[in-house]
Structure 1
Amino acid sequence: MKTPFVLTASAALILDLVAAANDTDSQPRFALSNTSQPSGEAYSPPFYPSPWMDPNAPGWEQAYAQAKQFVAGLTLLEKVNLTTGVGWMGEKCVGNVGTVPRLGMRSLCMQDGPLGLRFNDYNSAFDVGLTAAASWSRALWQARGAALGAEAKGKGVDVLLGPVAGPIGRNANGGRNVEGFGPDPVLAGQALSETVIGIQNAGTIACAKHFLLNEQEHFRQVGEANGYGYPISEALSSNVDDKTIHEMYGWPFQDAVKAGVGSVMCSYNQVNNSYACQNSKLINGLLKEEYGFQGFVMSDWQAQHTGAASAVAGLDMTMPGDTLFNTGASYFGSNLTLAVLNGTVPEWRVDDMVMRIMAAFFKVGKTIDSLVETNFDSWTTQDYGFVQAAVNENWEKVNYQVDVRADHANHIREAGAKGTVILKNTGILPLKKPKFLTVVGEDAGGNPAGPNGCGDRGCDDGTLAMEWGSGTTNFPYLITPDQALSAQAIQDGTRYESILSNYDITETQALVGQPDNIAIVFANSDSGEGYISVDGNEGDRNNLTVWKNADTLIKSVAAVNNKVVLVIHSTGPVIVKDYAAHPNISAILWAGAPGQESGNSLVDILYGKQSPGRSPFTWGPSLESYGTEVMMKPNNGNGAPQDDFTEGLFIDYRHFDKVAPNSKSPNAPTYEFGFGLGWSTFKFSGLNVQKNNVGTLNAPTGKTIAAPVLGAPISKNLKDYGFPKNIRRIKEFIYPYLNSVTSGKEASNDANYGQTAKEFLPAGATDGSPQSRSPASGEPGGNRQLYDIVYTVTAIITNTGKVMDDVVPQLYISHGGPNDPPKVLRGFDRIERVAPGQSVIFKADITRRDISNWDTATQQWVVTKFPKTVYVGSSSRNLPLKARLR
């Protein structure tokens, strides 16, 4: 990380503006470009001023009115307090902002994470996002979100730091892909939206993250990279063109905004050489203006590098508040107070920051009087601890062991089963009271140190049920495959033996080589967040092989047994080409990382009690076959590594469709995106396309309202902002009060204080007058007419097999242009419990957005003149139905 400017006005609040200014605004006002500067580096143009909330934004009207009434009654110090974290380990949660004691408002609590509450007890450990995605079930996604939100609310968490669509999964070996919903923007966007709806219906603010282009762990933070021996001075820059941003990486976040998400977390990396948390084009231009986002933007933990620059670029809340952990210094806090007093940051910008925070608060049904007190502590498992654990201050009871799990185990078991993908099955499955069952492999058993034996799950010991890093939780229990399969075997009268090692090859072969034996072999491949390295994997995976001698184990078992079932737990694809072709491997299952009910979910699939899912990513024959992979070594000397997304839209199945269009191609997928076997067979027929009468797409007219300044005029007397004499100052805790009230120069500790601050501001940064609207903007989610239903597609699906099963129809569209992917997913459903001989109707609405491309010249979505084709089938490479869209 950069060495922070600490507690100064000119350094932390004025000079830092140069980093965001890029004030040679030669790019179109609404463009997002990676056009190179004379230096040869990609460039992100400025967008100012930061858009303020729209009082008439659909779905936000009441929340806006409530927030306006509340914010109008706040003092400047109280406003600043709500935007600024109190510091790492400065309160009970991983992130807390300051309080408003005068109005009885406690500190808002921010807590990880996307699959359950981090640093907690008596909470559930849900399936990871990628396993959830494999169910292709909107109902399960929303139910998962509702359970996550309810548990958060019950613990006194106000903002749940999830769900995830960044990374989307550009690189197959990306460490945190597993937290998201896969590399297709439509699948990811729908899963993200349904999860947001579930979380917020339960009374908790959802935080969609990481915005944007945080597609690998390597080099995301300077300090972390330096710790691994990489001598970089700036975080990695993801360099991406405007079209790719709109049609790929931004798409899921646009869906989340349309769904009403309350907060968005900006990421660690740079985007076109501007840090994401001060990238005005991303935050102001794309998220707030074009997408119409009405909630608040918070920084990832220590992703803020500037003060006023990030404020005018659209950052609304700094987390955890300190410039670096436990420094007691903040880019906001007292610096933001002083910046408003000296005119560097306009008062309306601070008002809007707080409006966005409080509108999100009220939108999910929260009230100050009904807030659940935070009843856990992130920093100790004991009943009593220090509230300010960083400095051992205020000893009191901090943990109350509130059990919030309810009946969520039932959902986790169902979701884990329906998110398991059967890749190969020659008829051995489902199991039916086998005579003799052997289970081998470390991944079938438990961690000898217990399910929570490795901090933040930072190891690969025992079965893999979640990734490692901040997006984890503590297991309340973990049902291992060995436990669940043993219990089923006892119930069935099956002989059962297991060897939970990957290295005892001789003993394993002696066991599985016995007659009448079905052998289930377990293997895994793990990854996670970059601050943890496991077996030399620094967050990202070094390769796509299975870990810990598992390849040798699998082939040794298959050499002596012709009834082998391979079960893989992993955080993304692994290379299964040899296993798919092996005659003795009768079945291959991908069980993802399914959470606390792991073994039970697997038994439900192996024995045919539930219907399985479909793959949310492509299984390539090698890491290189994907066309992109994690940058493992810096490529720009000691500067910011430059990661050029030259592949554009062609990632995962879009890439394979381009370079390996048929099964005979050298790099053809082993299993394609959307693929998965079930228990029955289905016939697709009767494709019908109905064209609906919709008008033309019109850009919004008129201007916004002027930026509102709420409440009484603020005093400019520094003496009104000094540290109160009746408050005991706690070391490292971040306050909004000025360090000195004698003069601005002394308060800022800056010899250059008094310079004209605005000479450092980007053009228009303080302009609070009514603003013109971008062509693609309008409501939350963008121009309302983007969602006009242009076509309605139906197809008949008939169960031609002998058992009841679920079917997952998928709809793809070809945009027809020479530079377009051959096809892109645009619709899907999971239709459950289709009986033998039964026919069901699959219906999908195709919106204007679905058939449009982003035009960089007009900065608008356009339907090109190229012929459009719709396909319907069971996977990206099995599409028996097609029709021209006319």
Structure 2
Amino acid sequence: MQLRIAAYWLLPVLAARAAPANIYNQLNKRDLSTSPPVYPSPWMNPEADGWKEAYAKARDFVSQMTLLEKVNLTTGVGWAAEQCVGQVGAIPRLGLRSLCMHDAPLGIRGSDYNAAFPSGQTVAATFDRGLIYRRGYAIGQEAKGKGIDVILGPVAGPIGRMPAAGRNWEGFSPDPVLTGIGMSESIKGIQDAGTIACAKHFVGNEQEHFRQVGEARGYGFNISETLSSNIDDKTMHELYIWPFADAVRAGVGSVMCSYQQINNSYGCQNSKALNGLLKDELGFQGFVMSDWQAQHTGAASAVAGLDMSMPGDTEFNTGLSFWGANLTLAVLNGTVPAYRIDDMALRIMAAFFKVHKTVDGLEPINFSFWTLDTYGPIHWAANKGYQQINHHVDVRADHGNLIREIGAKATVLLKNTGSLPLKKPKFLAVIGEDAGANPNGPNSCADRGCDNGTLAMGWGSGTANFPYLVTPDAALQAQALQDGSRYESILTNYATSQTKALVSQANVTAVVFVNADSGEGYINVDGNMGDRKNLTLWKNGDSLVKNVSSWCPNTIVVIHSVGPVLLTEWYDNPNITAILWAGLPGQESGNSITDVLYGKVNPSGRSPFTWGATRESYGADVLYTPNNGNGAPQQDFSEGVFIDYRYFDKANSTVIYEFGHGLSYTTFEYSNIRVEKSNAGPYRPTTGTTAPAPTFGNFSTDLNDYVFPSDELEYIYQYIYPYLNTTDAKNASADPYYGKTAEEFLPPHATDDTPQPLLRSSGGNSPGGNPQLYDIMYTITADITNTGSIVGDEVVQLYVSLGGPNDPKVVLRDFGKLRIEPGQTAQFRGTLTRRDLSNWDTGLQDWVVSNYTKTVYVGRSSRKLDLSAVLL
């Protein structure tokens, strides 16, 4: 038996220490962004709000663990080594089974008898905190029922810098406040249900192109390093880490670091991002896991703040690991300080105990991601351990009703000249492939990597198998039969003559279904390598809409899409009497849209992004071709905080439909804005120091104690173990630099375990940043009256102008959803915190409220601001 470990364990550390900018300047003669070193990696705070009990339990547990057990807990067992998409080693001596990390943001990937929920972007369109929470709770329930310990979501990265980016639909919105609330409510729901949430991808992960070298080379791009997202300090704080601060404040148990580089330092070994921003400034107390194959070094990633390696191997199915046996050696020889391995284990177990009272009673892992067969090898890659691996446990409960409700309440009525709601139409004609079923079944394309039939989710690791998919055609036909309507459908975009003959008849109400898809970069659909090639409708959709509307004077358009599409050529056609965006609504798609079209649900969705007139009008765009030779492509976020509606406002550009826009079947009137100033005290910067790093006892330095116990344990091929294969340390590491001290190749202070000064912007004992940031400074109320004839839900939006010459025109800061009976008036109540009114001061390295005049607006979208008041 020969254990294989990475021969380049320490070598990448040396490369990482060299200044990346100097290397690239020599090769490509251009200046590149750099990321400053921040060390040591902050250790857990035993007094952190919301973590005290979990910390105490974790400390008791970790203090009993051996070094091998700590390494086992922090290192994944390898790709396809067990049942989940990622697992760490078990601690059987202490009663802890292997922890299961599994996708994804809208449901359980690759399993059966689980629900397929609406996407994050879709639920964001409800602007309904309660619905977001309930969706998170249901996802957490299902994950727990399958034996999943960490569900890999929700998503704030990408936030949606570019509308064509492939995975925007997994997240919520390009607005950081809406995304932050989406993150917070989802996390609370998931963890209240008994599953650890994982906020991802931290940070700057805004496109699919060039996120991984191997993937890019597979598409014919000759690059040697992944893309670098180059983000300035102010933009990072005011936009990209804003929703992650909300996630930390909500008590999220884990955070996933990203594939790409941040200012030319890989996300999973970027000490500024992980140590500085996440663990120090935001006070994150949980654990950081790598994205799958996003770890590039061993010791360097450990001291930079990585706590868990996923899936454990350097590349899929190599049997090599940067950690595993290498991490064992690194702790033994002092390269990785003892406090760091203790802190890794402590963070993982604290997150565990935050949602579980004990290690006893966990649901067994009762499914296999690798097959739906009932029986098979539990060690899939090694084809070992044949047994029952899928128990086909049905975890759906009544979640179909919730999915239907979300899908309907997320639907955005963009345009309506009076044709909706439908009232027993005489003749309903439904047109378009997007109304019908995939002829090969809804799960026939792996990870939904195609666009056949109606679009209810994008593609990639953020997907789930449909237990069923109600198509619009099926649901609308059922409604038409109930009403006695005539009903016909043509479920293709290309039957031009047949479509013309159908919709040109008398008394036709034509409903045209069109879509636009995207997803993760490892799947290429029709030349869309994750990111969309353009913002047009797919499969001749624009021509279909223009043709049908030229033949039928009552044409209704329904769009299922992953984000905005270009409507410029046809949205204002008078024959198009209504336009609806239905997002990615999940398994109840047809029922949800039927509920809205027929007025069973009064539409109340609001667009979570802006609909621009042209692709260029959005400003930022996907980088589709390398721009740095064969080095790391450089993506400069030079627009700063000005993305989506902030950019359109700055450029004073015309929009088709603005952020926050959405119509109702009733009407509302806004009046009587009132501002009440609170008695919040002054801002107090955090001061003081941390306690010294805790450690939990000595461990043996005799390498004989760490050799693989072949007499007790069967070696599984490609499985990642913490054990050594020889007592000769240099040979065990297979590293030519073995024997050098940490001080010789790690950055200064990387192994320091002494008390550290607290950042003035940090929270001390309050995760999420300085607690004074969340003091309520103002309460704003306004009266909203339903002036129509039916009950309706109005999304009231609170915007602020920060007043500075370099600030956006307005920024969303709060919202509320009010259900109001006809003729009745309800009161909207919103709040503004200190953070809401602050800017990031790059010199002071803290939040400050500027002296510029602040104005508050209450309205129904980012450009329909009915009421305003100056904040005094």
Of 560, 584, 605 in structure 1, the residue corresponding to residue 551 of structure 2 is 560
- Root mean square deviation of aligned Cα: 1.6
2:288 is the counterpart of 1:288: no
Residue identity matched to 1:370: G
Q: 2:687·2:759 contact (CA, 8 Å) conserved in 1?
A: no
Residue 593, structure 1, aligned to residue 580, structure 2: no
Shift of 1:8: 5.0
Amino acid at match of 1:788: D
Cα distance in 1 for residues equivalent to 2:226 and 2:325: 27
Q: Aligned partners of 1:386 and 1:8: how far apart in 2?
A: 26
In the TM superposition, what are the counterparts of 1:20-59 in structure 2 within 5 Å?
20-21=16-17, 40-59=31-50
Aligned match of 2:11: 15
Counterpart of 2:25 in structure 1 is: none
Q: Which residue of 1 aligns with 2:684?
A: 698
Q: Where do residues 625-640 of structure 1 align in structure 2 (5 Å cutoff)?
A: 625-640=617-632
* Equivalent in 696, 703, 707 of residue 718 of structure 1: 703
Which residue type is aligned with residue 356 of structure 1?
Answer: R
On the 8 A contact 1:20/1:313 being kept in 2, the answer is no
Aligned pair 1:795/2:782, yes or no? yes
Aligned residue for 1:642? 634
Deviations 1:767-793 (A, max 9, x none): 000000111001200101100111111
CA contact (8 A) 2:730 2:738 kept: yes
**What residue is the counterpart of 2:91 in the other structure?**
100
Which of 529, 533, 543 does residue 542 from structure 1 map onto?
533
Cα offsets for 1:199-258 (capped at 9, x unmatched): 000000000100011100000000000000000100000001000000001000000000
Name the residue aligned to 1:684: 670
> What is the aligned counterpart of 1:365 among 356, 359, 382?
356
1:755 is displaced (CA, Å) by: 2.3
State the SS of the aligned residue for 1:567. Answer: strand
**1:348 aligns to 2:339 (yes or no):** yes
Deviation at 1:628, TM superposition (A): 1.0
**Correspondent of 2:427 among 436, 452, 467:** 436
Q: Which of 497, 512, 521 pairs up with 1:521?
A: 512
Letter in 2 for 1:683: E
Equivalent residue pairs, number: 863
Provide the C-alpha distance between the structure 2 equivalents of 1:21 and 1:353, rounded to a whole number of angstroms: 23
Note if 1:651 corresponds to 2:649: no
Would you say 1:750 and 2:742 are equivalent positions? Answer: no
Is contact 1:23–1:762 with CA below 8 Å preserved after alignment? no
Whether the aligned pair in 2 keeps the contact of 1:23 and 1:763 (CA below 8 Å) is no
- Per-residue CA distance 1:533-586 (angstroms, 9 max, x = gap): 101000000001001111111111111100000001000000012222111000
Partner residue of 2:854? 868
SS of match in other structure, 1:534: coil
Report SS of the residue matched to 1:578: coil
1:173 aligns with 2:160: no
Give 1:737's aligned residue.
723
- Structure 2 residue 800 is the aligned partner of structure 1 residue 813: yes
Residue 244 to residue 547, structure 1, CA distance change in 2 (3 Å): same
**Cα offset, 1:753, TM superposition:** 2.1
Q: Is the 8 A contact 1:123 1:404 kept in 2?
A: yes
Q: Deviations over 1:462-505 (max 9, x none)?
A: 00000000000000000000000000000111100000010001
The Cα shift of 1:625 comes to 0.6
Partner of residue 262, structure 1: 253
Q: Give the share of equivalent positions with the same residue, in percent.
A: 63
Measure the CA separation in 1 of the matches of 2:440 and 2:406: 27
- Counterparts of residues 114-153 of structure 1 (less than 5 Å): 114-153=105-144
Q: Is the 8 A contact 1:20 1:762 kept in 2?
A: no
Q: Secondary structure at the match of 1:841?
A: strand
CA distance in 1, matches of 2:59, 2:404: 43
Aligned to 2:817: 830
Amino acid at match of 2:641: L
Partner of 2:24: none
Return the offset for 1:20: 4.4
Say whether 1:63 aligns with 2:47.
Answer: no
Contact 1:208–1:261, Cα closer than 8 Å, also in 2: yes
Distance change in 2, residues 1:244/1:22 (3 Å): farther
Where does the alignment leave 5 or more consecutive residues of structure 1 unmatched?
A: 1-5, 26-36, 661-666
CA distance in 1, matches of 2:76, 2:198: 16
In 1: Cα distance, 2:503 partner to 2:196 partner = 51
Give the match for residue 829 of structure 2.
Answer: 843
Q: 5 Å matches for 1:413-424?
A: 413-424=404-415
Structure 2 contact 660–861 (Cα < 8 Å) conserved: yes
Contact 1:22 1:45 (C-alpha < 8 Å) held by counterparts: no
Matches of residues 105-254 of structure 1 in structure 2 within 5 Å? 105-254=96-245
CA contact (8 A) 2:5 2:319 kept: no
TM-score, normalised by the number of residues in structure 1: 0.96
- Report the alpha carbon displacement of residue 880 of structure 1 after superposing the two structures with TM: 1.3
Counterpart Cα distance in 2 of 1:789 and 1:581 = 43
Query: Does the 8 A contact of 2:6 with 2:320 survive in 1?
Result: no
1:631-689 Cα shifts (integer Å, max 9, x gaps): 111111100000000000100000000112xxxxxx41100000000111111111111
Aligned ranges 1:309-324 → 2 under 5 Å: 309-324=300-315
Q: CA deviation at 1:367?
A: 2.1
CA distance in 2, matches of 1:752, 1:518: 74
Matched, 1:475 2:471: no
> Using the alignment, how far apart are the partners of 1:563 and 1:839 within structure 2?
34
Match of 1:775 in 2: 760
Q: Cα–Cα, structure 1 residues 22 and 824, in superposed 2: closer, same or farther, change >3 Å?
A: farther
Residue type at the aligned position of 1:864: S
Q: 1:71 to 1:23 in 2, by over 3 A?
A: farther
Q: Distance in 2 between matches of 1:198 and 1:738?
A: 41
**Residues 576 and 238 from structure 1, CA distance in 2 versus in 1: closer, same or farther, beyond 3 angstroms?**
same
Q: Is the 8 A contact 2:157 2:200 kept in 1?
A: yes
Q: Which position in structure 2 is the counterpart of 1:604?
A: 595
Q: TM-score, normalised by structure 2?
A: 0.98
Contact 2:106 / 2:463 at 8 angstroms: preserved in 1? yes
Aligned-partner Cα distance in 2 for 1:470–1:236? 20
How far apart, CA to CA, are the structure 1 residues paired with 2:743 and 2:704? Answer: 24
> Which residue in 2 is equivalent to 1:272?
263
Distance in 2, matches of 1:603 and 1:290, equals: 47
Mean Cα displacement is larger for which, 508-517 or 697-706? 697-706
Secondary structure of 2:122 counterpart: helix
| Residue in 2 that maps onto 1:664 | none
Deviation of 1:446 (Å): 0.3
Q: Which amino acid aligns with 2:863?
A: R
Q: Secondary structure of 1:522's match?
A: strand
SS at match of 2:360: helix
C-alpha spacing 1:19/1:811, structure 2 compared with 1 (3 Å)? farther
Aligned counterpart in structure 2 of residue 624 of structure 1, from 583, 593, 616: 616
For 1:331, the equivalent position in structure 2 comes to: 322
- The farther-off stretch of 760-769 and 689-698 is 689-698
Query: Could you tell me how far 1:700 is from its partner in structure 2?
Result: 1.4
Instruction: Note the C-alpha offset of 1:23.
Output: 8.2
Answer yes or no: is the 8 Å Cα contact 1:23–1:46 preserved in 2.
no
Report the Cα offset of residue 831 of structure 1. 1.3
Separation (CA, whole Å) in 2 of partners of 1:518 and 1:314: 59
User: Cα–Cα, structure 1 residues 566 and 301, in superposed 2: closer, same or farther, change >3 Å?
Assistant: same
- SS in structure 1 of the partner of residue 370 of structure 2: coil
Give the deviation of 1:19 after TM superposition: 4.5
CA distance in 1, matches of 2:15, 2:267: 12
Kept in 2, the 8 Å contact 1:20–1:278? The answer is no
